[in-house]
Amino acid sequence: QPVLAVVGRPNVGKSTLVNRILGRREAVVQDVPGVTRDRVAYDAYWGGRKFTLVDTGGWEPDATGLQASVAAQAELAMQTADAVLLVIDATVGATATDEAVSKVLRRSKKPVLLAANKVDDDRLLADTASLWSLGLGEPHPVSALHGRSSGDLLDAILKALPEAPREGGGVSTGPRRVALVGKPNVGKSSLLNKLSGEERSVVDSVAGTTVDPVDSLVELDGETWRFVDTAGLRKRVNFAAGAEYYASLRTKTAIDAAEVAIVLLDAAEPISEQDLRVLTMVVEAGRACVLAFNKWDLVDEDRRHAMVRELERGLVRVPWAEKVNVSALTGRSVRKIAPALRTALASWDQRVPTGQLNAWLSDLIAATPPPVRGGKQPKVLFATQAGIRPPTLVLFTTGFLEAGYRRFIERKFREQFGFAGSPVRVNVRVRE
Ligand code: GDP
């Protein structure tokens, strides 16, 4: 999602214009006492497109004076955003500060838009022409208060912003796609049979071409699901050399084709390298994940105790996975699979609005700032959830964030917003 930063001196009507652009979809987040927010980000929509709007506040003169502080803010905005909107008070005209900012912005290779605000009536229109002198191109006269011409300004903004990249995973139409994966003999065929039989409704098999894998439509809990590449579950001749390679390739193909994976583990046996390889494939493909511990009928008290510690170590990469204990043999708890799939997919599809995300994040970072690196304190400027499927956060920072700190943010993000059953990616965009 592209980012637009709004800059301008105090009192030029920047906040009013921001609210006008947002259409008051997301009123300004309430300030939490003791927490300074010098940047707030929102989701903005216009003409069927979506972008992140960053309101750079804090243009108060600091020790270096108003001009220097404003110029520094503009510099930061320029580095962080895909385009910058400079707001000027048309009733005042260009001040020395506006000129200093314009000078900084002119050096940018990014598009800069100029809004001449407070043009509440036509008599002021002529004056806005003088703003060409700032060297930022055509001034867009607007009245944030009355809404005058803000549509034209928004059209110009959209033209300047790059198109948002396509969302991963694509649009899901039809039944949701499930991969049933796990090492040989863990019970995949048995479970698929149980699921289809028990619910009495394998709808039909979807025949592919000779090269395409064959999927099965299975009705579970009142919903039809597409189990992808179930032909791969059929017992086949074990072509000695390379058998394992082909099995693993088939697993990967199924995971890639799916939205959510049921990773089947043998509850009676310790977690193996092979299990972990399958889990890694799911995480790296960014798919939602349900862990099903099969053969639960074989698990006794001792085994259950042994499992607790084993899982803690074995599942460090997927503590967030949905878990169910089942027996494909007896049918125990197989009906819990569909709700677990739904939970995981809901998380995979979930998006936290930018305003809410930043309100939470600025408090988190104020309480626990990123560790100092090379004598410098990296600053997290703001964040957006850039995508879903899987949910992907992008943190805009002034410096590198250590992996440990990124994991901390992910953990806290999950505590705050959920996301059970889905991987969450935390990316960092450093602007130095
Ligand atoms: P696949 O290779 O993963 O498809 O595994 P299969 O479905 O062919 O099962 C392998 C073996 O495990 C078969 O002998 C099954 O009867 C047995 N099995 C599958 N699920 C269970 C279960 O829940 N409990 C027990 N005790 N055995 C199971």
Quick: pLDDT tens for 87-106. Answer: 999 999 898 888 888 988 88
Tell whether ligand 1 has an atom less than 6 A from the beta carbon of residue 236.
no
Q: Examine residue 319 and state whether it is found in any structural domain, yes or no.
A: yes
**CA dist., res. 317 & res. 417, Å (int):** 19
Buried-exposed string 225-236: b where 16+ CB fall within 10 A, e elsewhere: bbbbbbbbbeee
Domain final residue, candidates 293, 328, 346? 346
Pairing outcome for strands 215-220 and 223-227: antiparallel
Nearest CA to ligand 1 atom 22: 295
First to last CA, the chain: 21
Tell whether ligand 1 has an atom less than 6 A from the beta carbon of residue 363.
no
Band of residue 205 on the pLDDT scale cut at 50, 70, 90: very low
Nearest CA to ligand 1 atom 6: 187
The pLDDT, as a whole number, for residue 165 is: 54
Q: Which of 185, 193, 326 to mutate to test ligand 1, by most ligand atoms within 8 A of the CB atom?
A: 185
**CA dist., res. 188 & res. 183, Å (int):** 9
pLDDT in tens, 31-64: 333 333 455 677 788 877 888 888 765 555 555 6
Asked if pLDDT for residue 166 goes beyond 50, the answer is: no
Ligand 1 atom at minimum distance from 193 CA: 7
Which domain, by its residues, includes 299? 176-346
Q: Examine residue 166 and state whether it is found in any structural domain, yes or no.
A: no
Residues 215 and 307 in one domain: yes
Q: Examine residue 168 and state whether it is found in any structural domain, yes or no.
A: no
pLDDT in tens, 244-279: 666 676 788 789 889 999 999 999 999 999 999 999
Residues 17 and 69 in one domain: yes
Q: Examine residue 369 and state whether it is found in any structural domain, yes or no.
A: yes
Which of these, 305, 265, 300, lies nearest to 282 by C-alpha position?
Answer: 265
Residues 342 and 263 in one domain: yes
The pLDDT, as a whole number, for residue 169 is: 44
- Can you say whether the dihedral through the CA atoms of 130, 122, 55, 16 is positive or negative? positive
Residues 185 and 312 in one domain: yes
Residues 191 and 287 in one domain: yes
Q: Which of 26-30, 232-236, 336-340 has the lowest mean pLDDT?
A: 26-30
Residues 191 and 118 in one domain: no
The pLDDT, as a whole number, for residue 345 is: 97
Q: What is the residue-averaged pLDDT of the chain?
A: 82
Q: Which of 190, 235, 269, 330 to mutate to test ligand 1, by most ligand atoms within 8 A of the CB atom?
A: 190
Task: Please check whether residue 287 is in contact with residue 257, taking contact to mean a CB–CB distance below 8 angstroms.
Answer: no
Read off the CATH number of the domain in which 270 is found: 3.40.50.300
Ligand 1 atom at minimum distance from 184 CA: 2
Q: State in Å: Cα 190 to ligand 1 middle.
A: 6
Band of residue 172 on the pLDDT scale cut at 50, 70, 90: low
Across the beta sheet with 215-220, the strand order is 202-206, 215-220, 223-227, 176-181, 260-266, 288-294, 322-325
ipTM of the complex: 0.95
Asked if pLDDT for residue 195 goes beyond 50, the answer is: yes
Tell whether ligand 1 has an atom less than 6 A from the beta carbon of residue 233.
yes
Q: Examine residue 167 and state whether it is found in any structural domain, yes or no.
A: no
Q: Which of 66-70, 192-196, 415-419 has the lowest mean pLDDT?
A: 66-70
Asked if pLDDT for residue 331 goes beyond 80, the answer is: yes
The CA-atom distances, in angstroms, between 148 and each of 25, 123, 383 are: 18, 14, 31
The pLDDT, as a whole number, for residue 366 is: 92
Task: Please check whether residue 5 is in contact with residue 74, taking contact to mean a CB–CB distance below 8 angstroms.
Answer: no
Tell whether ligand 1 has an atom less than 6 A from the beta carbon of residue 187.
yes
Q: Examine residue 169 and state whether it is found in any structural domain, yes or no.
A: no
In this structure, the number of other CB atoms found within 10 A of the CB of residue 166 comes to 9
Binding site residue list for GTP: 8-15, 55-59, 117-120, 182-189, 229-233, 294-297
Domain final residue, candidates 130, 160, 190? 160
Read off the CATH number of the domain in which 367 is found: 3.30.300.20
Tell whether ligand 1 has an atom less than 6 A from the beta carbon of residue 333.
no
Tell whether ligand 1 has an atom less than 6 A from the beta carbon of residue 294.
yes
Residues 43 and 138 in one domain: yes
Ligand 1 atom at minimum distance from 264 CA: 3
Q: Examine residue 386 and state whether it is found in any structural domain, yes or no.
A: yes
Segment 315-342 mean pLDDT: 95
State how many domains the chain has. Answer: 3
The pLDDT, as a whole number, for residue 329 is: 92
Q: State in Å: Cα 275 to ligand 1 middle.
A: 16
The pLDDT, as a whole number, for residue 213 is: 45
Q: Which of 81-95, 227-241, 243-257, 367-381 has the lowest mean pLDDT?
A: 227-241
**CA dist., res. 268 & res. 109, Å (int):** 61
Task: Please check whether residue 289 is in contact with residue 261, taking contact to mean a CB–CB distance below 8 angstroms.
Answer: yes
Residues 401 and 301 in one domain: no
Q: State in Å: Cα 324 to ligand 1 middle.
A: 16
Asked if pLDDT for residue 201 goes beyond 60, the answer is: no
Q: State in Å: Cα 322 to ligand 1 middle.
A: 21
The CA-atom distances, in angstroms, between 239 and each of 53, 183, 230, 246, 334 are: 57, 16, 19, 9, 32
Domain final residue, candidates 346, 381, 399? 346
Asked if pLDDT for residue 226 goes beyond 50, the answer is: yes
Residues 282 and 341 in one domain: yes
Q: Examine residue 171 and state whether it is found in any structural domain, yes or no.
A: no
Kindly report the length of the chain.
432
The pLDDT, as a whole number, for residue 31 is: 38
The pLDDT, as a whole number, for residue 341 is: 98
Segment 200-208 mean pLDDT: 39
Residues 210 and 342 in one domain: yes
Segment 109-129 mean pLDDT: 86
Q: State in Å: Cα 222 to ligand 1 middle.
A: 26
Q: Which of 4-18, 201-215, 362-376 has the lowest mean pLDDT?
A: 201-215
Cis peptide bond N-terminal to 390, omega within 30: yes
Band of residue 304 on the pLDDT scale cut at 50, 70, 90: very high
Binding site residue list: 8-15, 55-59, 117-120, 182-189, 229-233, 294-297
In this structure, the number of other CB atoms found within 10 A of the CB of residue 54 comes to 28
Band of residue 65 on the pLDDT scale cut at 50, 70, 90: low
Return the top range by mean pLDDT from 18-27, 170-179, 387-396: 387-396
Residues 367 and 333 in one domain: no
Residues 47 and 23 in one domain: yes
